[in-house]
Structure 1
């Protein structure tokens, strides 16, 4: 299972040709972007800050994920108060629920993108906070699926790093993978507070990369197709990133717990 995650990490180091091309029109996009969209990007920065500090308005309910596990993998009486913690479930169980959530959230994002894409650049301002919210929520769900608690500030830092990873280029992905590879080591825990001091760079990187991904959504009506595709692929990429990186953390924790 660890080999599968590491293969996925290796695949992330290849930058798609269209992604390279996608950066070329960014200056043009910046010039034609209405102030209302710029304001929404600024608001996205503020909302990411609030999420990192206290969860903001994006915290999800853990009991909904627990209910999914209980329904899919019942442990005796479904009304019993005592149920096994998600962190003790087999990885196959975690993978199944995480994959279901990934697909359902991606489908929801496609509908959302088509709806907000109908008006082109005029409704783009509405789409920005919706997509950000969906991305943050699905990453929290991935955390819970693998037994981690997004209520903790440290986990919210990991979630924002996952968000940054999903929208970064090859250099950014390599740097983040290196940083997260030792996230749970004792030495790394001492650096968490210092890492929190640099969260602004993470937030700004995400919002900058957000802009060019929406380039083709600025055309009215046609933006429905681009909006549906871009939102679906964005949320699916974010969910897969969270799924794989949290999966790796859980695997490594279990390997460390194995008797030598």
Structure 2
């Protein structure tokens, strides 16, 4: 296990990353435009798919829906790196007690793997522009939710628990929020495991739709760049890769910070 000094150094790295999250790319700034304007310029079928995304995220929060993943695929990565005598016992508790360096290693591997998958997915669905974009939106949402669950498992948390699914959706929101939104989310998540703040979780669950709308407004603007056939392949590959990388990094850093703070206590 890490020493207190090592944990504090790791915490400082995460906090430096948090301070760096202070601006948005051009297309993300477009997502800050009034929702009415966004609604006017977004094709009806994209609005329909984004509406379905809201419903699917609601199902994910409530039950895990079709996006809840199996944990053994993640735990097998830990087993492959563990001492042969410990491999059979690897599970949620063992992962939670693993060295932070091992957690980071597996999380980085999963982030890179999902980003590569998203690149191919975006290029493939971007070829047809308008006609294949309808396929891409639920696929990218699913990839984003899956990588965040994998980040949770890497740091010893259980996505099948409702509170953890709320944390995951908060990470999803953080990845596309502006600087004001990021600060508000960081403040909420810093008190996530505080017993005195547990009652706020119910209120946050009731307000999930606002969380989702913040994400889908921004998400819709990114997808508009994929409407041009052939050129959409390049936009799709880049946008999907950067989206999944941003989501994975947010989950990795926020879960890492949470685990560090627990160990410091």
Normalising to structure 2: TM-score of the pair?
0.90
Would you say 1:120 and 2:137 are equivalent positions? no
The equivalent of 1:142 in structure 2 is 151
**Residue 186 of structure 2 is aligned to residue 177 of structure 1:** yes
User: For 1:147, what is the secondary structure of its paired residue?
Assistant: coil
Deviation at residue 23 of structure 1 after TM alignment: 5.0
Are residues 148 and 205 of structure 1, via their aligned partners in 2, closer, same or farther at CA, if it must alter by over 3 Å?
A: same
Decide whether the 8 Å contact of 1:106 with 1:235 is kept in 2.
yes
The one of 56, 68, 71 aligned to 2:77 = 68
Matching of residue 50 in structure 1 with residue 50 in structure 2: no
Indicate if the aligned counterparts of 2:46 and 2:220 stay in contact, CA closer than 8 A: no
Distance (Å, rounded) in 1 between the aligned partners of 2:230 and 2:90: 51
> C-alpha root-mean-square deviation of aligned residues, in Å?
2.0
1:32: Cα distance to partner? Answer: 4.6
Within 1, Cα distance between the matches of 2:223 and 2:187?
29
Q: Is the 8 A contact 2:31 2:218 kept in 1?
A: no
Contact 1:23 1:212 in 2 (8 A): no
What is the rounded CA distance, in whole Å, between the counterparts of 1:74 and 1:31 in structure 2?
58
Partner residue in 1 for 2:15 = 6
- 1:106 matched to 2:106? The reply is no
Q: Distance in 2 between matches of 1:99 and 1:67?
A: 15
Equivalent residues in 2 for 1:20-35 (5 A)?
Answer: 20=29, 30-35=39-44
Please tell me whether the aligned partners of residues 25 and 212 of structure 1 are also in contact (alpha carbons under 8 angstroms): no
Query: Structure 1 residues 13 and 33, CA, compared in 2 at 3 Å: closer, same or farther?
Result: closer
**Cα distance, 1:27 vs structure 2:** 6.8
Summarize the Cα distance change of 1:22–1:182 in structure 2 as closer, same or farther, 3 Å threshold: closer
CA contact (8 A) 2:42 2:224 kept: no
Match of 2:66, SS state, is: coil
| Residue deviations 1:172-222 (CA, integer Å, cap 9, x gap) | 111111111111111121221121111111011111111111231111110
CA distance in 2, matches of 1:181, 1:240: 17
Q: Which residue is 1:168 aligned to? A: 177
The reply to whether residue 188 of structure 1 matches residue 215 of structure 2 is: no
What is aligned with 2:240?
A: 231
Partner in structure 2 of residue 209 of structure 1:
218
Q: 1:13 Cα shift? A: 2.1
Gaps of 5+ in 2: 1-9
Q: Relative to 1, partners in 2 of residues 1:125 and 1:18: Cα closer, same or farther, differing over 3 Å?
A: closer
**Structure 1 length as normaliser, TM-score?**
0.92
> What residue in structure 1 maps to residue 7 of structure 2?
none
| Alpha-carbon distance in 2 for matches of 1:17, 1:223 | 17
